[in-house]
Amino acid sequence: MKIYTRRGDDGSTGLFHGGRVAKDESGPEAYGTVDEAVSALGVARALATGATHDRLLGIQRDLFVVAAELATAAERRGLLQAGTSLTTSEMVVALEVAIDALEAERGIPMEFVVPGGNPLAAALDVARTVTRRAERRAVTHMRMSAIEDSFVVPYLNRLADLLYVMARSAEAAWVPSRPKEA
């Protein structure tokens, strides 16, 4: 088996559970941007340790669920499985619980934050902005597909909030190394 199939050379792409659409339609735009968020989170995870590393890995796995839902034609949504290929309200609530815990522990900034306090925080902020773009693409796709019963947009909205709080937490936890004295 080869990685290339040539089926997409005509500008189309296959959907989860069958069917083909143009690569620049709203669904591929949305799930392609979710894929970008997964990769951006991979950069952040490579810089993270412990619970933060594990949380980011879990989020990456959740985003595969989000992408599967976005990659399914509206008429085939009945084939999706909650938590496996269908985003659930429980997934959104889990993000809210994580946000609340970090806010209780660290608080939130009361002024404008310039990203880049340290490498992990910067990577989390990049992942946050890509997630916001994925959210906008998902809004467009849901509207164009007349899908009203999805938790994709709330999930992405809450995820961007969590990544913001995680970035601020990473900055607060970071202790820069001091230059050695001569």
Measured CA to CA, the distance from residue 81 to residue 78 in angstroms comes to: 8
Structure confidence at residue 136 (pLDDT): 98
Burial 121-147 (b: 16+ CB within 10 A, else e): bbbbbbbbebbbbbbebbbebbeebeb
Report the 10 Å Cβ neighbour count for 38.
Answer: 21
Lowest mean pLDDT: which of 10-14, 24-28, 154-158, 177-181?
A: 177-181
* Within a domain: 1: no
* Within a domain: 6: no
* Within a domain: 58: yes
Beta bridge partners of 82: 86
Beta bridge partners of 13: 21
DSSP-based three-state secondary structure for 72: strand
Which domain range does residue 47 map to?
20-171
Structure confidence at residue 154 (pLDDT): 98
pTM for this model (two decimals)? 0.90
Name 92's Cβ contacts closer than 8 Å, sequence gap at least 6.
Answer: 151, 154, 155, 158
Tokens of 55: 């949380």
Terminal-to-terminal C-alpha distance of the chain? 59
pLDDT over 90 percentage in the chain: 71
The tokens 């496996």 sit on which residue?
84
Q: Residue 67: give its domain's CATH number.
A: 1.20.1200.10
* Within a domain: 115: yes
* Within a domain: 74: yes
Q: What average pLDDT does the structure give for the chain?
A: 92
Tokens of 167: 């970035």
- Tell me the per-residue pLDDT of 83-99, one tens digit each, with 9 for 90 and over: 999 999 999 999 999 99
* Within a domain: 9: no
Tokens of 166: 């995680």
* Within a domain: 152: yes
Beta bridge partners of 12: 22
Measured CA to CA, the distance from residue 180 to residue 119 in angstroms comes to: 21
Structure confidence at residue 156 (pLDDT): 98
State yes or no: pLDDT of 180 exceeds 70: no
Number of domains into which the chain is organized? 1
Number of residues assigned to the chain: 182
* Within a domain: 36: yes
